[in-house]
Homo-oligomer: A and B are copies of this chain.
Amino acid sequence: MKSTIVTIGDEILIGQILDTNSRYISQALNRIGVVVAERTSIGDSAEQIVSTLDRALAQSDIVIITGGLGPTKDDITKHTLSRYFNSELIYNEQVGNFVEQLLSRRGIAFTELNRGQAMVPKCCTVLHNAHGTAPGMWFEHEGKVVVSLPGVPFEMVHLIDDSVVPMLAEHFELKAIVHRTMITSGIPESILAERIASWEDSLPEVLHLAYLPAPNVVRLRLSAYEVEEQSAKALIDSEFEKLRYIIPEAIVGFENATVEELVHRWMTENGKTLSVAESCTGGNIASKFTAMAGASAYFQAGVVSYSNEAKRDILGVNMDDIVRYGAVSETVAIQMAEGVKRVGQSDYAIATTGIAGPTGGSELKPVGTVWIAVSTPKGTFATLKNCGTDRGQVIDRATAYAIKLLYDNL
């Protein structure tokens, strides 16, 4: 079963917002066996919506649309869909009452524009939006399904999970899509490709191999589309098993587990604890761990010691050493890691201190210079990394290197 995802909104085309809806919907559809053939983003234009719908319905069985359902004049998706399906807008009392209640709980008056949000095409099935004022809509047309959802990410997520996914699984006879990703580290992509070339050439036709390179890591993904789930999983497992003999030293793990997820799992399973002291990464490492449910079981403390005084007062870094070696130095990184391990009373600690830029660099320590320290029950050490030239890139890379350095020393 093929699908097309359409996100509507001028704010996407001018780059004012990042389209995260498409990704969420892609993942949800893949999980239930619906192949995403194309994702497209278009403006708030009736003409574009109609031509895109024509094309999407020609190439796929399912079309998921988000956006353009707000109460204001720039939102035209609902009117356009109603005309597209030769329907008319009628007042839906259930939606009207719900929106009125929702607004009254928040102390907001129910206006004529909100009343308009309860007008829905006669031909659609209304999908209850428990978290907002625009309902979802489910259309059936010549054996195909078109779903229109609000663009507010949180409202879309609930509608996809609570309504669209179960309804699609009920409506269509769906097979499975199986993706499994092996994480390798230490072999550059082109060398890796040569080493596994004969394995790749002998893969069964039903399996598709993709290389996904990232700093320090190449992921290998095997995918099987519209298959019987258990046998496809077994087939992929047996193919990956062969790589244990070909690149045994490079296999880090499986699935999309990020390195922080691997650390998270290890800390949880081993009952150990972690603290983090950050200068240039500014809280990014702490937020990666604390974003994961269950982090409170092992994450003790994070300190973003941006100022030298914070390094001294909170972490106990020696101010003379800061003056002598500089805040970006091996000595300071090590003292930060040991300091946060001590104040956080944890078994492990990470510390970063570097120059994120755009200013603050020098010839000796250019922007991107980052000292990363890891403290374990066995001791503390630091390593120097050049993390690029762009502030966001420096923060991201230093974060990745630091978490990887900890992982390698668990």
A308 to chain B, nearest CB (A): 10
Residues of B within 8 A of A194 (CB): 111-113
Q: How far is the CA of A106 from the CA of B109 in the complex (A)?
A: 63
Residues of B within 8 A of A296 (CB): 306-307, 360
Partner of A15, one of B24, B213, B301: B24
Indicate if the CB atoms of B41 and A22 lie closer than 8 Å: yes
Instruction: Confirm or deny: A368 has a beta carbon within 8 angstroms of a beta carbon on chain B.
Output: no
Q: How far is the CA of A189 from the CA of B19 in the complex (A)?
A: 21
Q: How far is the CA of A136 from the CA of B10 in the complex (A)?
A: 28
Residues of B within 8 A of A209 (CB): 73-74
Complex interface: stretch among A139-147, A226-234, A245-253, A389-397? A389-397
Contact with B along A229-246 (1 / 0, CB 8 A): 000000000000000000
Partner of A301, one of B212, B295, B307: B307
Residues of B within 8 A of A121 (CB): none
Indicate if the CB atoms of A290 and B302 lie closer than 8 Å: no
A45 to chain B, nearest CB (A): 9
Q: Which residue of B lies closest to A10 (CB)?
A: B210
Give the oligomeric copy count. Answer: 2
Query: Interface majority SS on A: helix, strand, loop or mixed?
Result: mixed
Partner of A293, one of B15, B22, B181, B391: B391
Contacts A72-B193, A191-B109; A343 near B357 (Cβ below 8 A) = no
Instruction: Confirm or deny: A90 has a beta carbon within 8 angstroms of a beta carbon on chain B.
Output: no
Q: How far is the CA of A278 from the CA of B28 in the complex (A)?
A: 32
Indicate if the CB atoms of B290 and A300 lie closer than 8 Å: no
Instruction: Confirm or deny: A88 has a beta carbon within 8 angstroms of a beta carbon on chain B.
Output: no
Residues of B within 8 A of A24 (CB): 15
Q: Which residue of B lies closest to A117 (CB)?
A: B190
Q: Can you list 22 residue pairs at the A/B interface with Cβ under 8 Å?
A: A10-B208, A11-B221, A14-B223, A108-B188, A113-B190, A114-B190, A133-B190, A152-B213, A278-B286, A278-B302, A282-B286, A282-B289, A282-B295, A282-B302, A283-B283, A287-B287, A290-B395, A296-B307, A301-B314, A302-B302, A309-B344, A313-B345
Using CB atoms and an 8 Å cutoff, list the residues of chain A in contact with chain B: 10-20, 22-28, 30, 36-44, 48, 70-75, 103, 106, 108-109, 111-114, 133, 152, 154, 157, 177, 179, 181, 188-191, 193-194, 200, 208-213, 221, 223, 256, 275-276, 278, 281-287, 289-291, 293-296, 299-307, 309-310, 313-314, 343-345, 356-360, 388, 390-393, 395
